Structure formats: structure tokens, C-alpha cells
């Protein structure tokens, strides 16, 4: 069932009612830092128009989100100590989706140093100053 966009935290971020560390935006998409980063530079890319998940996002927004994801991933690799990017998209409660507004996680990785499993990791509240600083670094690398 579609989330009421009034109650959707990511719609509120798009509307500027909830703050975020913005990295990039265009007509259709927004990229911002995850506040519980799995690794330094963990970024979320969302469509500005509310869609719950992969099943209901429009083809145009789906393409736009992934084009933005590619831009961000390139910037992450250019400015962070990462040698790869784990791209995660959870669709539906059964997949552990928590925020019911389509989003792609871009998690900068170096498997030789970050000690994470291939598909399992923990997100923890981050240090806001550090998240803001790293978000600025990725933004500058775009
Ligand atoms: P999901 O499990 O739905 O794929 O992930 C939701 C993500 O959104 C989590 O990684 C969580 O840290 C992030 N998140 C939830 N609320 C907020 C918020 O208010 N601001 C930001 N920047 N990220 C959020
Ligand atoms: Zn929404």
C-alpha cells in the first residue's frame, strides 16, 4: 500500500521540511547522506516524486535515480578511500525495507579494509559533523 506522502520522511526531505546533507539534486532526483552510515560516504538516491518501491516507481524516475546513482558512485570512488561501491535497494517489508519511499543505497567499499560481509552489515548512528564533511567532499567531486 502506498505511504501517505505527508507521513513520508523522504518526501519531507524533498520538501525541505526535514534537513539533510544534500549531495546532488536535479529535476527528478535527490542524493543525500545516510544518517546511519554503514561506511564513510554512504549515500541515498531517491526520486523526488513519491514511489514506494521497485514495483510502483515509474520507468522515467527509475532511470533518473540510477543515472544519478552512477554520478554519485563515480564521485565516491574519486574522492574516498574506496575501491568499490555496494548498491542496495530493498523493496517491501519482507526485504527489510524501512523507509517506504524508493531509495538506492550507495555504500563505498574496500573489502580488504572495511571487514564487511558481502551482503550483511550493520548501520549505526553517525557523527553529524563527519557525515556533513564527507557529503561535501563527494559533492565537490561531482
Ligand atoms: P531501508 O532499510 O529502508 O533500505 O533504509 C532506510 C535508510 O534511510 C536507512 O539506512 C536509514 O539510516 C536512512 N534514514 C532514515 N531516516 C533518515 C533521515 O531522516 N535522514 C537520512 N539522511 N537518512 C535516513
Ligand atoms: Zn515519500
Q: What is the pLDDT of residues 41-95, one digit of tens each?
A: 999 999 999 999 999 999 999 999 999 999 999 999 999 999 999 999 999 999 9
* CA 57 to ligand 2 centroid distance, Å: 11
How many angstroms separate the CA atoms of 22 and 43, rounded? 10
pLDDT of the residue at 83: 96
60 within 8 A of 28, measured Cβ to Cβ = yes
How many angstroms separate the CA atoms of 105 and 68, rounded? 12
Distances from the Cα of 48 to the Cαs of 13, 27, 106, 117, 137, in angstroms? 9, 8, 17, 31, 23
pLDDT grade, residue 3 (50/70/90)?
low
**Is-catalytic flag, 105?**
no
Q: Say whether pLDDT at 120 is over 90.
A: no
pLDDT of the residue at 1: 44
Query: Domains along the chain?
Result: 9-114 (3.30.428.10)
* CA 36 to ligand 1 centroid distance, Å: 7
Ligand 1 pocket residue status of 124, Cβ below 6 Å: no
Q: What's the whole-model pTM score?
A: 0.95
Name the average pLDDT for the chain.
95
The whole-number average pLDDT for the span 10-32 is: 98
Ligand 1 pocket residue status of 20, Cβ below 6 Å: yes
Q: How many CB atoms neighbour CB 48 within 10 A?
A: 18
Instruction: List the residue whose alpha carbon is closest to atom 4 of ligand 1.
Output: 97
Amino acid at each position: 500500500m502506498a505511504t501517505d506522502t505527508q507521513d513520508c520522511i523522504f518526501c519531507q526531505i524533498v520538501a525541505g521540511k526535514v534537513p539533510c546533507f544534500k549531495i546532488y539534486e536535479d529535476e527528478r532526483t535527490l542524493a543525500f547522506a545516510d544518517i546511519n552510515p554503514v561506511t564513510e560516504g554512504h549515500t541515498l538516491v531517491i526520486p523526488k516524486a513519491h514511489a514506494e518501491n521497485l514495483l510502483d516507481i515509474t520507468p522515467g524516475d527509475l532511470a533518473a535515480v540510477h543515472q544519478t546513482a552512477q554520478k554519485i558512485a563515480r564521485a565516491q570512488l574519486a574522492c574516498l578511500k574506496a575501491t568499490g561501491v555496494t548498491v542496495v535497494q530493498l523493496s517491501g517489508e519482507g526485504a527489510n525495507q524501512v523507509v517506504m519511499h524508493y531509495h538506492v543505497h550507495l555504500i563505498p567499499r574496500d573489502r580488504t579494509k572495511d571487514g564487511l560481509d558481502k551482503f550483511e552489515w550493520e548501520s549505526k548512528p553517525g557523527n553529524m559533523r563527519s557525515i556533513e564533511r564527507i557529503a561535501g567532499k563527494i559533492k565537490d567531486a561531482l
